[in-house]
Copies of this chain bind each other. A is one copy, B any other.
Amino acid sequence: MNIGTDGGKEMSKEIALQQIRIKDPFWSGMQEKITDTVIPFQERVLNDKEEGVEKSHALDNFRIAAGLMEGEFYGMVFQDSDVAKWLEGVAYSLVIKPDAALEQRADDIIDIIAKAQQPDGYLNTFFTIKEPEHRWQNLLECHELYCAGHMMEAAVAYYEATGKDKLLGVMERMAQHIMNRFGEDKIPGIPGHQEVEIGLMRMYHATGKEAYKDMARYFLEERGKNPNFFKEETERRGWTHFGNMIPDDTKYNQSHATIYEQDEAVGHSVRAVYMYTAMADLAAEDHDEKLFAACRRLWENMTQKKMFITGGIGSTVEGEAFTKEYELPNDMNYAETCASIGLVFFARNMLKTEKNGRYADVMERALYNGIISGMQLDGKRFFYVNPLEVNPGVSGEIFGYKHVIPERPGWYACACCPPNLVRMVTSLGKYAWDEDETAVYSHLFLGQEAALGKADIRVESAYPWEGSVTYHVSAKIDELFTLAIHIPAYVKDLRVTVNGEAFDTAGEIRDGYLYISRKWGSDDQVELHFPLPVRKIYASTHVREDVGCVALMRGPVVYCFEGADNGANLQALAVKKELDAKALVCTEGRLSGLTLLDVAGIRLVPSEELYTEEPPKEETVTLRAIPYFAWGNRGLNQMRVWMHEK
């Protein structure tokens, strides 16, 4: 089924995953690792059948709540969300790689979830099994709405993937339960961890029921109206769950001000971008300019003052949070994989309202760098924290750096990022296009076959390694329409041909999109060619960590330098001011197939004395850079993105 283009359902303009079949030299292999390695692994974990991994019990919690087995609740108060995230990933994977046995197992799990739902629609195994008397009393800590939001996302994804609406029905009843309780003239409430707003918006998109959108708006607009909400809630109930969460720290969960008053990205970065994601979705759906302006302020602040060059966000481990503007420490940052994924959610929803390259550029930045750096190239280990500099003996060891693990730990050590990567990479097709009455918008260069409303479009792409992308357009309508293609901001010397003839782009590239309007035939070809030179990037000198340094990019790919290629003391290596860099394809070893760089550089020879009046001697050397996302695949060694320039 195809929600977006089957004509009847005006309420959803979203591209459905079924419309897209990715065939991309870069992404297809990654999707395969996810479907073949990651999803089965997670299933074993959820069933407590994986050795050497921390006990999950997440499915057993549902079985117990469903009355299907005896036992106690085990795990975090938000353990249910592990099942939800897995189910959402399974849904996408069933679209890109059908698997009847997997679908059957997922159906069985959905049956259990349905049985765990209470007669009044309530669904949460922690409170059902363990503390039924405490339901809805601790929104600050207890993640009931967060778990509901994730299960709503899973329900919509599963419905859209399979057409089966059992879980959707479960979550419609849970949504009704929530709506019966919270709202204007009811009990005031906001989630301690935003997510239900996204879930409700997706329920709205899938069903067309305005009530879900209204509820999402309520949660968003209620937030910060009473900055003492969580404090008063805490005083009222007189008990805590974790005990260490400070209700006064309202910035942590973005409840310090209303969404219209917030103009700085603060607090827990995943909470923040999940909230912004729902805000942008709602703004687009309601053509709400005031709300979109609020989104724009937060977007600009975050991406222009608080984002790492890799698309990482979150500068400190304490609260997994944003800190001060321009405070972007490379070696003790957080840049959680999940936060970069949330940044892509936000960017994607901003594009719904405004087709502007600033959003697609950041989407690219996060996708090709700070998100996929979270996964080992073989799909077997994951990073939670994505540093831009690691130093063995310091990273992961010394106070301040202990969270910066210099090698990807085993799966068990990080429970939230792998499933988020799963759902991001398997649903990538949803990020590639928008379509409105007059135009089709291509946001990403992605090899694929896309069955859109106005045309079937096959894309051949050598991206990100080569600046060569071809759109084969087969129109389905007999009218003029526009193909708008996002051109990354860094692209210079773009050459475009339409059916082999040069297309003059002058004046046709606006806000980062190339507009080609014509009456399309059954096999029109738009070819894009652009050079991918190695680029030296400077950070604003407001960023104290990066002054005097450059980072290298080629296309959307940020590069880094590892000790494995360059020896010890990367900090003593400098890239030459007159850039001399050569791209080459790695043909062996773990980085095989990736484009690496040979870069003319200088080694600053360490002095004998710790402090000396002699400037360091300089030796000419050739440096080797590798894609940032591929760092840490060759054992423990030093790594730097920002290199001195000399």
Contacts and interface: CB of A to CB of B under 8 A. Distances in A.
A272 to B, nearest CB: 17
B332 A400 contact: yes
B542 A569 contact: yes
A611 interface: yes
B318 A611 contact: no
B542 A391 contact: no
Q: How many copies does the complex hold?
A: 2
Contacts of A572: 541-542, 547
A535 to B, nearest CB: 6
Contacts of A548: 548-549, 574, 644
Interface residues of A, number: 51
B541 A571 contact: yes
Given A316-B399, A399-B316, A607 B305 contact: no
Contact of A323 (B394, B536, B610, B612): B394
A612 B535 CA distance: 10
Interface string A545-585: 00111010000000000000000010110100000000000
A540 B607 contact: yes
B316 A613 contact: no
Q: Please indicate which of the listed interface residues A391, A548, A609 has the most CB atoms of chain B within 10 Å of its own CB.
A: A548
Given A542-B606, A572-B542, A327 B537 contact: no
A612 B544 contact: no
Contacts of A323: 394, 398
B541 A605 contact: yes
A611 to B, nearest CB: 5
Contact of A398 (B316, B538, B571): B316
Interface in A355-406: 391, 393-394, 398-400
A317 interface: yes
Given A309-B611, A323-B394, A610-B303, A399 B318 contact: yes
Nearest to A542: B606
Given A544-B571, A571-B547, A604-B547, A613 B398 contact: no
Nearest to A615: B538
Interface in A588-620: 604-607, 609-616
Nearest to A327: B394
B400 A324 contact: no
A244 to B, nearest CB: 14
B606 A541 contact: yes
A498 interface: no
Contacts of A549: 548
A614 B536 CA distance: 8
A100 to B, nearest CB: 47
A307 interface: yes
A429 B548 CA distance: 44
Given A398-B323, A400-B316, A548-B548, A539 B610 contact: yes
Contacts of A499: none
Contacts of A399: 316-318, 400
A491 interface: no
A543 interface: yes
Nearest to A617: B541
Interface string A466-488: 00000000000000000000000
Contacts of A305: 610
Nearest to A309: B611
A610 B307 CA distance: 8
Nearest to A545: B571
A609 B542 contact: no
A438 interface: no
A574 B645 CA distance: 14
Contacts of A541: 569, 571-572, 604-607, 616
Q: Which 10 A-B pairs have the closest CB atoms?
A: A318-B399, A400-B400, A541-B572, A544-B571, A548-B548, A541-B604, A541-B606, A540-B606, A324-B393, A542-B606
Interface of A: 303-305, 307, 309, 315-318, 323-324, 327, 332, 391, 393-394, 398-400, 490, 535-544, 547-549, 551, 569, 571-572, 574, 604-607, 609-616, 644
15 contacts: A303-B610, A315-B398, A316-B398, A316-B399, A323-B398, A327-B394, A391-B544, A538-B607, A538-B615, A539-B611, A540-B611, A541-B607, A541-B616, A543-B610, A544-B571
